[in-house]
Amino acid sequence: MPEIIFSGPDGRLEGRYVQAEAGSPIAMILHPMPQLGGTMNNPIVYRLYHHFADRGFSVLRFNFRGVGRSQGAFDEGIGELSDAAAALDWLEALTGDVSQCWVAGYSFGAWIGMQLLMRRPEISGFISVSPPANLYDFGFLAPCPTSGLITYGDQDKIVPKADVASLIGRLQEQRGIAIEGKMLRGANHFYDDKEATLDKSIKTYLNQRIPEIDEAKALGAAAK
């Protein structure tokens, strides 16, 4: 997992990147709320990163502005969306033509990632873990441009399950896309003691969406 520094809209951004073979699909992972300690090393972000790396993707996770070695200061989501767009630009410039482009995010990162869907038509799939549907307006998803997975816990005290279920229901009414909603029983916002259940849900969904790849190549890329 090489450490990388790349240019963002408000200074340098710090990330971790794994490179797969040329032409492989790409994925970018977005971390939770910086003001509450969210970083690219969050355990769920790390798990998402490896779900894609294990499948032979070139994968980037990075710190939003003001986090870790990333320059700048928290910007209430406006600047962070610009950071995500710049990170995707960097990833695409490095990897060239790709077969698929995915974005995955957790909590605040899910909100940023779903906004990015509306701006980047090349994104072909997404995973949103516990999107904060009670804290932010998701009305911009009108319509949602691509299919994806949304997971949430029925014991989440930060983002109530009813708010996420309502968001999923609205998106599932749209034609031309398929939104899979997965409520994990016993899971809180942090998926304490439910990490394996979350992993299983993500793996099952990706198995449905992404063709099988050469296992040896995937493991080799993930080990870098």
Instruction: Give 1's pLDDT tier (boundaries 50, 70, 90).
Output: low
Query: Under DSSP, is residue 196 helix (H, G, I), strand (E, B) or coil?
Result: helix
Q: What is the pLDDT of residues 193-223, one digit of tens each?
A: 999 999 999 999 999 998 654 443 444 444 4
> Domain residues of the chain, as ranges?
3-211
Determine the Cα–Cα distance for residues 122 and 98; give it in Å rounded to an integer.
Answer: 10
Backbone angles phi, psi at 118, to 5 degrees: -75, -15
**pTM for this one?**
0.93
Write 133-139 long-range contacts (CB < 8 A, 24+): 133/159, 133/163, 133/164, 133/166, 133/167, 134/159, 134/160, 134/163, 135/159, 136/77, 136/111, 138/111, 138/114, 138/167
Dmax over Cα atoms in the chain, in whole Å?
43
Query: Mean of the pLDDT values across residues 124-141?
Result: 97
Determine the Cα–Cα distance for residues 131 and 163; give it in Å rounded to an integer.
Answer: 9
Is the domain spanning 3-211 CATH 3.40.50.1820? The answer is: yes
Determine the Cα–Cα distance for residues 95 and 92; give it in Å rounded to an integer.
Answer: 5
Minimum mean pLDDT range among 115-119, 167-171, 185-189, 206-210: 206-210
Determine the Cα–Cα distance for residues 184 and 223; give it in Å rounded to an integer.
Answer: 30
- 40: DSSP letter: T
Instruction: Give 99's pLDDT tier (boundaries 50, 70, 90).
Output: confident
Instruction: Give 23's pLDDT tier (boundaries 50, 70, 90).
Output: confident
Determine the Cα–Cα distance for residues 40 and 109; give it in Å rounded to an integer.
Answer: 10
CA 118, 119, 122, 125: dihedral to nearest 10 degrees? -30
Query: Mean of the pLDDT values across residues 5-19?
Result: 97
**At which residue do the structure tokens 């994968």 appear?**
59
User: Do 23 and 221 touch, CB atoms closer than 8 A?
Assistant: no
Determine the Cα–Cα distance for residues 96 and 24; give it in Å rounded to an integer.
Answer: 9
Q: How far apart are the first and last CA of the chain?
A: 5
